[in-house]
Every structure is written in C-alpha cells, then in structure tokens.
C-alpha cells in the first residue's frame, strides 16, 4: 500500500509537469506566430495606405494645376445647349487628351468631369459615353452635388470599380461641377509590387458589383474567383488569377479561414507552397459609404522559410524537453521532491516564469531573477512581495491594480485586455516590453503560473513602422497622417492655448523652374532643418504638401504664436540657402477655438496665409 501510493502520485506529477512545460513551448511558438501575423498585417496595411497617399498627392497636384482652367469650361456648360456642350467637350479633349494619354502611361486611370447636378459631361477614357446622371450610383458624386465636398475612396461605378479622388470645381465662387481623378486596381497593384514586392489581387462582392455596374459591363469585365462564389475579379487579371489559384486552394485550408473572412477585418494566414513559406494578408475594402465590398489580398514569400524553421525548432525543443523531463523524473524518484523538480524545470526555461498566490510571489525562475538583478528568490522577496512591484507606471501597460482588481485577477478575467508590461533591466538600464500570459493552477499554495515573453524588438519595429508611416521622407517632418493623429490626441484634452501656423515658400515654383526640382528638394530640407531648430520640443512641424507647412504650438496663445511666426520669418529671410541664396515665406496664424474642428482651424490659417500672399508676401497675418 505505502509503496504503490507514491509511485502513482509521482507518475501523475510527471505527466502534469510534462504537459505543462509542453504547453509552454507550444504556446510560446504559437505566440510568436501570432505576433508575426499581426506585424505582417500591420505592414501590409501601411504599405497599401502609402501607395494610396502617393496617388492622392498626384491627384491633388493635378487639381491644383488644372482646376481653374477646367472650371472655366464647366462654368460655360452650366446653361449650354447640347450642341454647345458638344463643342465644350471637343475643346476639353483638344486641350487635355494628349496630357491624359501620357498620364495614363504613368498611372492615371480615369479623368471624369461632372456637371453640378451629377450628370457626366466628359469621360476622357470613354468620350462618347456622357449625359448619364450617376448621383444614385456613386456616393462620391452625391457628396459632390449636395455638399460640394471632396471625397476619396474605392467605389464601384457604372463601368467598373476604381480608387477615386473627386474634387468640387468652383468658378468665381460658384459651384460649377466636379472632377474625378481615379486609378484602377491594376495600376495600384503594379505600384505595390514595384515598391514592396509580392503579388496582389482584389476580390469584390458580386452583389456590390451587380448593384452599381451596367449588366453588360459586369459580364464583360468581371469573372468568378476561386476564393468564394460571392466574390468576382476583373477579367483582364484572369492570367494573374490562374497564378493565384494554387495559392487560394492552400489558403482556404488554413485554420479558421472562413471565420476570418466573415469578420470583414484585416488578417494574415501563413501557408507553405511548393516548399516555400508564404504569407497571405487580407485587407478589407470599404466604399465611400463605409460599406464592406471585398478584400485586397497581398501574398509574400519568406526568404529563409522562417515558419518551417519555427515549427522544426518547436519539435526539437519538445523532444529535448521530454527527454530531459524523463531523465529528471527518473532521478527525482530517488532523491528529489516534486516542488524542487518543478522549480528545476522552470529554472531551465529561457522564458521568465513566476508562480504566485494571488499577489504574493511564491517562486521566480532564474531567467526572471537574473533579469531583475537578484541572485535568488530570497534576495528578491526581501525587497518585494510581488513581481508587480517592478512594473513601470504607464497607463497603456499592465499595472499592479487594474480596474479595481489585482493584476493577476484582471489577466484571468480579461483575456483580451491589456497584457503587456514595461520592466527596466537594472543592469543595462534599458526598458523592456513583455507579453504576459497567466495560467490558473489548482494547488494549495499556488494559484497562478505567469510567463513573461520579451517582445521588445517586435514593439520597437512596430513603433518604427508607425513613425515611418507618419513622417515625410524628404524633410523628416510629420506628414498629413501624422498631423491627423497629433491633432486628434491634442483635441481629446482641449487646450485653449493651442495655436497653428501655416507657412508657404514664396515663389517656389519659380525656384523649381529656374534651378530644377533637385535644388527645390534641397531647399525644402534646409528650410525644415532651420525651422525645427527654432521650435520647442513640444511643438510639432508638419509638411502639409509641396512647399506648404504647418506648425502646431501647444500652450501658446495667438499673440505669442504671431511673435514666433515673425521670428521664423526673420530667420528664414536672413539665412543663406544653396544657389538661391535668399528665400522668404508667408505666414498665416490662428488660435484654436472651442468650436473648432480640424478642418476649420486649418481653413482659418489658410485664409490668413492667403491674405499674406495677396498683400505682398514675406509677412505674417494672424486672425
């Protein structure tokens, strides 16, 4: 009786430890895979947005250069007879058809002009198709007609889908119509492949296409996809679809694929194709009304088959671990107690592991103690009762108390809540970020098994990617996306002393024409460096577009902001620039009002800048 009982207990304990440590190995690798998929999803979305943003800038440049001239034609068409409109179309084609044909070779898909009621006046890609009113089909045209509002986004039209940028046109202050500058998917796909590599395909809902597109165009232009009968692809990409077919068949067999497709959210799956590890990222596509209409698929190959390597490492670690545990178990039956064995095993883990009873630390493995700079468990508990005592205070990370709960209780009850913590390494003084997992254990003195997985490098890469996405590459200033995020963060906690300066380089077009765009770029870089050197750390410097910049000044009233603008004006006019020697800028200054939106404060500063330009340039106007 007495000899059999310990053996049964020992065997049960051995199986428990084997299962527990195997779970940690599996969970650690699975966590790495999930982190990889999240990072790939974020990168793919950022790359797609970067291409769209570049296209938007091209559209804005075309609008800035040609809108006034085109608006003159649109004004003539307001009350024109059909024959007069035909003459206006011919004049527009004579003036812009060559430019349009050349632009198509560089990436422009469609140039389309609308009358003020939404009626098509001229499609440069189909000049014989006109006179149809698209206000019921196209939300962007609806916004144009009823609100004279700029709209952008993916939209399905009468002939096909396109990524559209729709601008209102005004002549002498009167709304006279609209101009659409758009690109089809083949152009964006080529730009994505050229910039970032990989393969891309667009899948659109069949019902969405049927709702908007002419029936004969739907039949001629689209065909079913192998992804799902609910989706179509463009026929002119049919050859591309053949290449995608084996990918699609393998992607559809990945775990939870149908559930992820139904979520209408971005996700990445990992698969192996012909002995090559690959990733497939699905990015949801929404129209201008924010209705889901399909997915953009991005496929990339891993250079070194990292996923297969990770799986192989997991099996090697598991087999090594099982062998080690078996040997330890045989030795332990002769000379060690169960608690000591578990601690030896946990001490051998490369991951930081802790055992706790509620908030009181009962055990910390060597990896955790070494990181925190303690020789053993006793040395740590002489200063701390809880491992949470070393958590850095940061509202975005796990704290000792979370929502009136102990942090361990919070982790157990909020599996999708905050699960990251900051801990400083006392030896290197470097801050590390850990992903924390918790497993409840039924034991007399222990109820939580906690692991800390170091994700500092991954978080740093994410931060770098986020910074790159918000930064203008030429000048190092924030771009418009960065401005949107900064303004939103500031506006959440209203600051009555927020001021905004908008400035523009005087006669910059003359400089580009006389000295070339490369000199123009050097001037933009030098000017940005000069302005940044004259700003405080809390001020934000943004490249708004071309030679136009914005400065956000926190805790600064209008009077002080005007003084700062004058100081910058003087510094710029006295600075010697390469080739052009002297340079001046015009400034518009305003202060944030409690009723302001992002659009209204920028518009007010832009109006002040316009006055500065009109009154002779190289001056500051505040309002």
Backbone dihedral region for residue 522 (phi beyond 0: left; psi -120 to 50: alpha; all else: beta): alpha
Is residue 169 helix, strand or coil? strand
Q: Could you tell me the two tokens for 394?
A: 């940061």
In DSSP terms, 543 is beta-bridged to 549
The H or E element containing residue 91 is helix 82-105
Q: What does residue 98 show for φ and ψ, rounded to 5 degrees?
A: -65, -45
- Gap between the Cα atoms of 123 and 109, Å rounded: 11
If one counts every other C-beta atom within 10 angstroms of the C-beta of residue 259, the result is: 9
SS3 content of the chain, % helix, strand, coil (to 5): 50, 25, 25
Separation of alpha carbons 581 and 102, rounded Å: 36
Both tokens of 581, joined, read 């020697």
- Token couple for 348: 């051998």
Q: Which residues of 74-98 are buried (b: 16+ CB within 10 A; e: fewer)?
A: bbbbeeeeeeebeebbeebeeebee
Dist. CA 521–CA 498, nearest whole Å:
30
Q: Which residues does residue 433 pair with via DSSP β-bridges, in sequence order? A: 422
Question: Which tokens belong to 424?
Answer: 């400083």
Q: What size, in residues, is the chain?
A: 623
Q: Give the separation between CA 119 and CA 87, rounded to whole angstroms.
A: 17
Alpha carbon 569 to its chain centroid, in Å, reads 35
Residue of 161, 547, 599, 615 marked catalytic: 547
E strand or H helix at 227: none
Neighbouring C-alpha atoms within 13 Å toward the C-beta of 345? 30
Cα(173)–Cα(176) distance, integer angstroms: 9
CA 488 to CA 502: how far, in whole Å?
Answer: 18
Question: Three-class SS of residue 542?
Answer: strand
Element (H, E) at 129: none
Roughly how many angstroms between the first and final C-alpha of the chain, as a whole number? Answer: 94
Task: Give the C-alpha distances (Å, rounded to integers) separating 251 from 43, 244, 258, 292, 464.
Answer: 19, 10, 10, 21, 30
How far apart CA 63 and CA 335 sit, in angstroms, is 83
Residues in Cβ contact with 220 at an 8 Å cutoff, skipping those fewer than 6 apart: 235
Are 352 and 367 spatial neighbours (Cβ–Cβ below 8 Å)?
A: yes
Query: Is residue 357 among the annotated active site residues?
Result: no
List Cβ neighbours of 414 (8 Å cut-off, separation of 6 or more).
402, 403
- Lookup: tokens for 63: 């609008």
The dihedral through the CA atoms of 314, 319, 323, 326 has a sign that is positive
DSSP 8-class letter at 576 = P
- Nearest Cα to Cα of residue 300 among 285, 312, 282: 282
Which residues are catalytically annotated?
547
């Amino acid at each position: 009786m007495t000899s059999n009982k310990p053996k049964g207990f020992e065997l049960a304990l051995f199986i428990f430890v084997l299962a527990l440590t195997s779970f940690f190995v599996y969970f650690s690798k699975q966590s790495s895979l999930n982190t990889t998929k999240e990072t790939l999803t974020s990168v793919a979305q950022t790359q797609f947005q970067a291409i769209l943003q570049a296209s938007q800038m091209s559209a804005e440049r075309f609008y800035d250069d040609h809108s006034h001239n085109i608006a003159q034609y649109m004004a003539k068409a307001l009350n024109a007879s059909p024959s007069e409109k035909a003459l206006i179309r011919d004049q527009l084609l004579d003036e812009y058809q060559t430019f349009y044909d050349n632009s198509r070779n560089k990436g422009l898909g469609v140039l389309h002009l609308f009358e003020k009621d939404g009626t098509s006046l001229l499609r440069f890609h189909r000049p014989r198709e006109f006179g149809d009113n698209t206000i019921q089909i196209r939300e962007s045209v609806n916004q144009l007609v009823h609100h004279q509002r700029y709209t952008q986004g993916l939209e399905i039209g009468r002939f096909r889908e396109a990524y559209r940028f729709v601008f209102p046109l005004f002549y002498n202050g009167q709304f006279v119509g609209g101009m659409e500058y758009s690109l089809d998917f083949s152009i964006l796909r080529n730009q994505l492949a050229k910039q970032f590599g990989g393969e891309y395909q667009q899948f659109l809902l069949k019902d969405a296409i049927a709702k908007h597109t002419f029936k004969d165009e739907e039949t001629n232009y689209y065909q079913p996809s192998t992804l799902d009968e609910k989706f179509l692809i463009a026929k002119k990409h049919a050859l591309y679809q053949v290449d995608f077919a084996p990918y699609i068949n393998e992607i559809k067999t990945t775990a939870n694929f149908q559930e992820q497709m139904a979520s209408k959210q971005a996700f990445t799956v990992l698969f192996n194709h012909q002995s090559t590890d690959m990733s497939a990222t699905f990015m949801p596509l929404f129209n201008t009304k924010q209705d889901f209409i399909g997915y953009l698929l991005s496929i990339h190959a891993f250079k070194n088959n990292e996923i297969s390597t990770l799986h192989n490492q997991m099996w090697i670690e598991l087999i090594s671990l099982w062998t080690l545990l078996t040997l330890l178990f045989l030795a332990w039956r002769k000379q060690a107690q169960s608690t000591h064995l578990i601690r030896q095993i946990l001490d051998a883990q490369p991951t930081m592991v802790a055992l706790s009873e509620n908030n009181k630390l009962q055990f910390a493995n060597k990896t955790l103690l070494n990181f925190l700079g303690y020789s053993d468990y006793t040395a740590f508990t002489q200063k701390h009762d809880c491992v949470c005592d070393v958590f850095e205070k940061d509202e975005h990370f796990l704290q000792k108390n979370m929502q009136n709960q102990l942090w361990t209780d919070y982790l157990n009850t909020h599996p999708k809540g905050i699960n990251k913590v900051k801990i400083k390494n006392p030896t290197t003084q470097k801050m590390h970020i850990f992903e924390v997992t918790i497993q409840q254990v039924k034991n007399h003195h222990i109820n939580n098994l906690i692991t800390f997985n170091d994700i500092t490098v991954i978080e740093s890469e994410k931060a770098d990617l986020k910074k790159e996405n918000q930064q203008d590459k030429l000048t190092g200033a924030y771009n418009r996306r960065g401005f949107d995020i900064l303004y939103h963060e500031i506006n959440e906690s209203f600051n009555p002393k927020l001021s905004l300066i908008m400035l523009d380089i005087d006669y910059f077009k003359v400089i580009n024409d006389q000295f070339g765009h490369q000199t123009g770029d050097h001037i933009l870089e030098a000017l940005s460096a000069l302005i940044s050197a004259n700003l405080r750390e809390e001020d934000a410097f943004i490249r708004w577009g071309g030679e136009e910049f914005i400065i956000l000044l926190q805790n600064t009233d209008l009077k002080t902001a005007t003084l700062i603008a004058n100081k910058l004006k003087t510094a710029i006019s006295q600075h010697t620039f390469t080739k052009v020697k002297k340079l001046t800028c015009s400034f518009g200054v305003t202060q944030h009002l409690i009723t302001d939106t992002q659009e209204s404060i920028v518009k007010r500063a832009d109006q002040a800048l316009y006055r500065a330009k009109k009154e002779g340039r190289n001056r500051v106007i505040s309002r």
